[in-house]
Structures are given as structure tokens and as C-alpha cells.
Amino acid sequence: MMRTVGRSVERRGAKDVVRGKALYADDIRVDGVIHLKVVRSIRSHAIVKEVDTSVAELIPGVVKVFTSKDIKGSNRYGIITKDQEILVERKVRYVGDPIALVAAETEAIAVEAARSVKVAYEDLVPFFTIEEAKGCTTEPIHEDGNLLSSRDIIKGDIDQGFAEADVVIEETYTTSMAAHGYLETETGIGTLDERGRIAIYVSTQNPHYDQDDVVAALGLRPHELRIVQATTGAGFGGKLDISVQGLIALAIQHLKRPVKLRYSMEETMQAAAKRHAMVMHYKTGARNDGRVTAVDVRLTLDTGAYASYGLAVLSRAAAHAVGPYEVPHVRVHGELYYTNRIWAGAMRGFGVPQVSFAHEGQMDSLAKALGIDPFEIRMINALKPGSTTATGQVLHASVGIGETLKRVKDAKERRERNPEKRHVKVRPWVKSGWGIASFWYGIGNTGLPNPSTAQIHVDEKGEITLYTGAADIGQGSDTVLLQIAAEALQVSDKDLKLIRGDTGLTTDAGATSASRQTYISGNAVKSAAENLIQKLAQEASSQLTVPLPEIGYESGEFKGGGKTVTMRELAKELHQKGQIPIGEGRFDPPITLLDKETGQGIPYATYTYGTYYAEVEVDTGTGEVSVEHVIAAADVGKAVNPANVAGQIIGGVAMGIGYALMEEFESGKTRSLTDYLYPTSMDVPPVEVIIVEDPEPSGPFGAKGVGEPALIPTAPAIINAINKALNTKILDLPAKLERVMKTVLKSPCSGGI
């Protein structure tokens, strides 16, 4: 029986956050700090002819104005493609590109000086849409052209699949760019530490990546830069990219003084990554019995001015395009284009929220055309152990999609049998509807190695410390990893100390992205604990003069030959010998590269699955949509911390409501929070959480992940509910008031719960 895993222990550091004691980057105080401000492009596509800093440099309090000429390294960075510059050298590619950096004694002076920097441009033809980017006949955005990448998934014979179909549904779906919505903007503070290193305390999701790219971009050596993750006020993928890190390091490299840079919310809106806008053309065929025979998909993604995570988003979207269903004949073709819009990067779901909107819309359309219940058509096609995915991967275990469908259907029927628990409006112009959506989500990077490492150390007093590079950005990985370590060591999680996210003290755990930390870093932590026990058992064998195979371990004690020695006693003895008891762990999921031509392979070692149900009310007079109730079931393998899992799911529902109904980032128009609508607590209905545990054999104590998956099915479930209420088909996200009203005017309202 598990002692710690499976319990809703208190989140590590939660009380400090609630009490305002947690130190975010903006809270860190250093004497004599210099303030930085970025001078950004006001052109979408142009050659920078001259940067005149003379007026700014004469302003009292200005310390220095940096341009690309001050950069000693490659001046290039990027998570996959190194196509971004710390400061632009020749060409700007969107309104917001960094051109110069002002360092001043106060933030106000830095702002004034930044406004005084004059930039001369030679305008180039801009490309604001994918169609414009495709038709480029002038200078492209990047040297190799506006098409960044493409991806194909081919399984079976698509023509044969449609020949076998009795009904074919063909639609084009679109989604808009979206902003992450974290309240803490990009912020960092840096100084020279006691060893003379540039030490930057920053809001980030990947400190080791930050270190690697900044070192290369600025011509530093790895030991000259230390990145420490400060308490981070959320990220949702938006803090995977470098923002302030390179600029802070540049200033310290030259000034040898502490510096600070924080974005305003307007700057975050202007210069931080967004979710990819996507156009998705789907053609789906099925037999009369509901069995899907073929899915043909064309995806077109707008990555904006820079690649960021675009290639990963394209690959993941293509791999997930069919949904959690077994389809014998599949063809997916995706293309990723540069445009002169704000660059798009990682955002919760990595392309899967977009394709889920489409494939779940297709499933509902098939169900309607065939006269089959929406639950039933999904059950008919749902993946199960032994199924083969679109990439040719045979699934063996932990495939809980069918169970989530069953549990949600049961919960829906219970709810219908107890109408007094529901809030029902009687206004005749308000139409009600319900909808469901299912999802799957591969844990970790797509078809690429993505290892994690961890160490567990015991000092001479017997105190145990977990060292991990995993960044906790509010999702609770600190707590979960400590629970896994405690379970493996058979001690209380309260007995463990934690050092995390510090390139000077921890090794690389990979990015906090792709919902990978519980599964991948959790396995590394579990391995480190087991390695520590093994090393201490060897010392116990020596001290107790008992053969190693006869040494047993339980709750911090090693036993053998009727004798016992504690972990603390062993650690003290080893320290006296000059040996440090450290357990080391590493885990890299067993995946394969995807074939370049067909996309066949094993992109992920395991998947999270789920089904959501949503009830909506649509005011046909105003177009307002109210989400009244949500039932959310997710197969997480094993819930290490059930309360944390429930919190992730509820948060995912809240975020999904915004994606479904109101959030739309428009380049050149969205400038601040006043121009962008996020859901509030008033928009979030009661959420009935159902945790399904279908253990993953390769996971730490059976666990997988749920951080990103929790968002994915919310929007398609809501849209399917609106479609049912209005007897229509919404094809574009978000379903804002104007779009809903157009739908109302086009189609007679019908439906009901």
C-alpha cells in the first residue's frame, strides 16, 4: 500500500504564495540595480538602416544604450531553430522586434531614453496572412523562404478508406491566435555572484535551456552564467522562450553591475509568443455502423515571425489529428508558415486544442448524419489496448479513453435523473444544449529524446535533499516530485528538502512542457531514490557484515542478520570516510523518430486520455453563451496528488472556456488586457471531476500527466453543445457573440437538454 503517492498532501510553498512571502523575480531586491528597457520595432518587415542612440545617451541617468554591435557571440537563439536575435542586426520581422536596450539608473529614465532612440527603416513588403506568405515574390521573411516546415502522417490507403465509407463529412475549421494570460509578466534580475558568474533570477519554464542559448548568443562559457528559476507566476508555455534572459546577461557582461528588466503587460502582449492560429480541412468517412474508415486532414499553421516551438506544434498536431480513435486509413499533411505577425510558440496543448476542435466536430457531425448517439460513436472507434494509432504505434496498456466515456455518460445520466440539482432557465429565447468531446495527449516531446535527471543527497545529519532541474510554474511539480521521492524512500514528504531549477546546483530535467515532468522527471526522481537505497545498502552490508542480497530496506532502516542500521547512521559514516551518499537518476522515454515521409513511428511512450461533457445556454437575442455545468474525466494513470489533479482539470476547464468563447489575439489591435477577453470566476460553472486511473507500467508508480490535457476537450465540448442547442455548425474559434449571432440568424434554433 502506498504511503505518499495517491494522497492530497499540501502543495510545497503554497502558504508562502498565499501569504505574499514567495519571492517572484520582481520582488528580489539588490542594491545599486540598473534598470533596462527595450527599444522595439514599429515596423512589421523592414531593413534597419540606422540606430541613433545619441540623444538617449545624453539623458542624465542613462548608463549605456546597447545595440547588436555590443554582442560578442552568435546573437542567435531559438528553441528548435536559431532564427531569433537578442538584438536585431539587419532586419525586423514584426512590430515588437528588439532593436536596442537602454540601461539607466531608474526605470522611468530608461523608459524616457528608450523613446529617444531613433531608428531609420527601409520598408519591405509585409506578409500578414498565410496566403500572402505563400505568394511571396519579394524578399521573404527569412532567407530560406516563408515555408518553415511540413509534416505528413500516412497510414493505409486513403482512397480505399473513403471507398468503404457510407457517409463522408468534409469541413474547414479555423482557430485564432491566443495569449497565455499569466499575470506575472516576463521579469528577471541579475548580478555577479560570489564566484564572479552572471547569475540571473528569472521567471522561466526551462532554466537549463536558457543557460545554453544565452551562453552561445553572447559568447560566454557555460560556467560564466547561472540561471535560477524564481517563483514563477504561471507560464502555460509562454515562458519557455527566452525573453529577458539574454538582455540581462548582455548588460551585466558589459556593466558588471546588477540589472533588472521587467515587461509591462502591454509589452507581454506585444513581444511574447502566442498560440498558433490554424486552418484545418477535415474529410472523414464512416460506415453506417459508425466505424470510421478514413480521415484526410490538411493543416496550415501560422508561426508568425519566428519558429519558436512551431515545428513541435506542427508535429504534435499532425500526430494527434485523428483523435483518440483507431482509423485504418489516414492521411495528414501539415504546413507551417512564417508571417510578419507576432511569433507563435508553445501554449498549453501544443497544437492539440486546435485539432481536437476539428476532430470532435467531425465526430459529432458523423453521429448526427448516422443517427448514432455521440457517446456511442466514440465508443465504437475509441483506442484500446492492441489498437494501432495513426503513426503505426501499437498501444499496450494504460488506454483509458473508453472508461472516461463510460464514466462521463454515467454521470450525465445521474444528473438527468436528478433535475433538481440543475439550474434551468425558462426563457423561451434561451436555447439549451449539451456536448461531449474526447481527447488524447502524448506525454513528452514528439518523436525526440527528452531525458530528465535528478539527484537525492543525504547529509551527515541524515537530512535528505532532492535536487531537480524541473521548473514548478504553479502546476505543483515540486510537490509531486517530492511525493514520488518520499514514496520510493518510504519516508514522509515532509522529511525531504528541495533544491530545484538552478543551473548552478541542479542538472538538466528538461523543459516544464509537454506535460512531461510527472512522468519523465518523476521517473528520474524514483530512479535516484532507488540508486541511493542501493548505495546505502552496500554500506549497510559492510557494516552489518551481511551479504548484500540479504540486506532489506524499510522506512529509512536497513536490516540483515537480525541487526539494523539507519539511513542517518550510514550517511554519517560515509561522510566521515569522505564519501557523499548521492543517488542519481535518469529517464528518457522509449520513443522512435517519426519517418520523414510517412510519419510512422512511436512519438510518445504513453498518452493521457479523457472525455468532457458541457451544458450550455445560448441567448438567441444577444448571442451570449453561458456554460452551466461541466463533467470532466481524465485517465492520468495514477493520481500522485488527487487534489492537484482536480485543480489542473478545473483550471483547464476555465482556460478552455476562454478559448471556446472569447479569446482572440489580433496583431496590431490587441495591445493590452483591455483589448483581450479572459474568463473570470463568474464564467466558470460547477466542474464535476472524475479521475480515472489506468496505470502506466512505465510511469512512476503508474503516473502519466495532466497539465496540458486538462485544457484540450473543453472548447470542442462547449462548441458541440452550442451546435446542439442551435441545430447548427460552428467552424471558427472563438465562438464570440458576433459569430454566435450570425449562426442564430442563419439557422432556426432547436435542441435542448
Which band of pLDDT confidence, cut at 50, 70 and 90, is reported for residue 667? Answer: confident
Reading the block at residue 304, the C-alpha cell is 508568425
Cell numbers found for residue 364: 459529432
State how beta strands 464-468 and 496-500 pair.
parallel
| Rounded Cα–Cα distance for residues 678 and 181 (Å) | 8
- CA 347-350-356 angle, 5° bins: 115
Rounded to whole angstroms, how far apart are CA atoms 526 and 583?
10
d(CA 179, CA 227): 26
Percent of the chain with pLDDT over 70: 98
**Torsional sign, CA 613, 474, 518, 526:** negative
Q: Which fold has domain 451-587?
A: Aldehyde Oxidoreductase; domain 4 (3.30.365)
C-alpha cell at 101: 536596450
570 band by pLDDT with thresholds 50, 70 and 90:
very high
**Dihedral sign, Cα of residue 12, residue 14, residue 19, residue 20:** positive
pLDDT digits (tens, 9 = 90+) for 607-626: 999 999 999 999 999 999 99
Cell of 148: 518553415
Lookup: cell for 120: 531609420
Query: Is the confidence at residue 750, as pLDDT, over 50?
Result: no
Separation between Cα atoms, residue 500 and residue 480, nearest integer Å: 13
Mean pLDDT along residues 407-415:
97
Q: What was the pLDDT predicted at 748? A: 58
User: 96 vs 668, which has greater pLDDT?
Assistant: 96
At residue 424, does pLDDT exceed 80? no
Question: Would you call the peptide bond into 328 cis, given omega within 30 degrees of 0 as the criterion?
Answer: no
Mapped to the 3 state alphabet, what secondary structure does 654-707 carry? HHHHHHHHCCCECCCCCCCHHHCCCCCHHHCCCEEEEEECCCCCCCHHHCCCCC
Nearest to 120, CA basis, from 42, 38, 36, 37: 42
Q: What is the pLDDT of residue 425?
A: 58
User: In this structure, which amino acid lies at residue 300?
Assistant: T
Residue 753 confidence (pLDDT):
40
Collect all residues with Cβ–Cβ distance below 8 Å to 628 and sequence separation of at least 6: 422, 423, 432, 615, 616, 617, 685
Q: Which residue has the cell 499496450?
A: 396
Delimit the CATH 3.90.1170.50 region(s) of the chain: 18-124+186-262
Split at pLDDT 50, 70, 90, the class of 130 is: very high
Provide the pLDDT for residue 752: 40
* pLDDT tier at 422, thresholds 50, 70, 90: low
Helix (H) or strand (E) holding 599: none
**Which pLDDT tens digit goes with each residue over 131-188?**
999 999 999 999 999 999 999 999 999 999 999 999 999 999 999 999 999 999 999 9
Amino acid, single-letter form, for residue 326: E
Q: Provide φ and ψ at 48, rounded to 5°.
A: -85, 110
- For residues 499-513, give the mean pLDDT: 98
Provide the pLDDT for residue 304: 98
Write out the H or E segment, with its range, that includes residue 506: none
pTM: 0.97
Cell reading at 244: 529577458
CA end-to-end distance (rounded Å), the chain: 43
- Return the pLDDT at 694: 98
Mean pLDDT estimate for the chain: 96
* Per-residue H/E/C for 448-477: CCCCEEEEEEECCCCCEEEEECCCCCCCCH
**To 5 degrees, how large is the angle CA 207–CA 313–CA 667?**
90
Mapping DSSP onto H, E and C, the string for 296-342 reads EEEEEEEEECCCCCHHHHHHHHHHHCCCCECCCEEEEEEEEEECCCC
Q: Are strands 118-123 and 98-104 parallel, antiparallel or unpaired?
A: unpaired
Report the pLDDT averaged over residues 376-400.
Answer: 98
Among the residue ranges 102-116, 288-302, 660-674, the one predicted with the least confidence is 660-674
Strands 329-338 vs 292-304: parallel, antiparallel or unpaired: parallel
145: left (phi over 0), alpha (psi -120 to 50) or beta: left
Q: What distance in Å separates the CA atoms of residue 566 and residue 489, rounded to the nearest whole number?
A: 12
Please report the pLDDT score of residue 525 as a whole number.
98
* Radius of gyration of the chain measured on its C-alpha atoms: 27
Q: How do residues 476-498 score in pLDDT, each as one tens digit?
A: 999 999 999 999 999 999 999 99
Contact (CB, 8 A) for 311 and 100: no
The band of 1, judged by pLDDT with boundaries at 50, 70 and 90, is: confident
pLDDT digit string (tens) for 531-558?
999 999 999 999 999 999 999 999 999 9
CB atoms within 10 A of CB 125: 13
Of 311, 313, 189, 183, the residue nearest 239 (C-alpha) = 183
φ and ψ at residue 216, rounded to 5 degrees? -70, -40
Amino acid code (one letter) for 572? K
The C-alpha cell of 117 is what?
532612440
Question: pLDDT band at 224, cuts 50/70/90?
Answer: very high
The tens digit of pLDDT for each residue in 28-77 reads 999 999 999 999 999 999 999 999 999 999 999 999 999 999 999 999 99
Band (pLDDT 50/70/90 cuts) for residue 746 is confident
Three-state DSSP class for residue 203: coil
Per-residue burial over 88-102, b = 16 or more CB atoms within 10 Å of its CB, e = otherwise: beebbbbbbbbbbbb
277-445+595-746 CATH = 3.30.365.10
Query: Which are the contacts of 577, defined by CB distance < 8 A and separation ≥ 6?
Result: none
CATH 3.30.365.10 residue ranges of the chain are: 277-445+595-746, 451-587
Cα-based angle 224, 230, 232 (whole degrees, multiple of 5): 135
What is the distance between the alpha carbons of residues 149 and 127, in angstroms, rounded to a whole number?
17
Say which CATH architecture domain 18-124+186-262 belongs to.
Alpha-Beta Complex (3.90)
What's the pLDDT at 668? Answer: 84
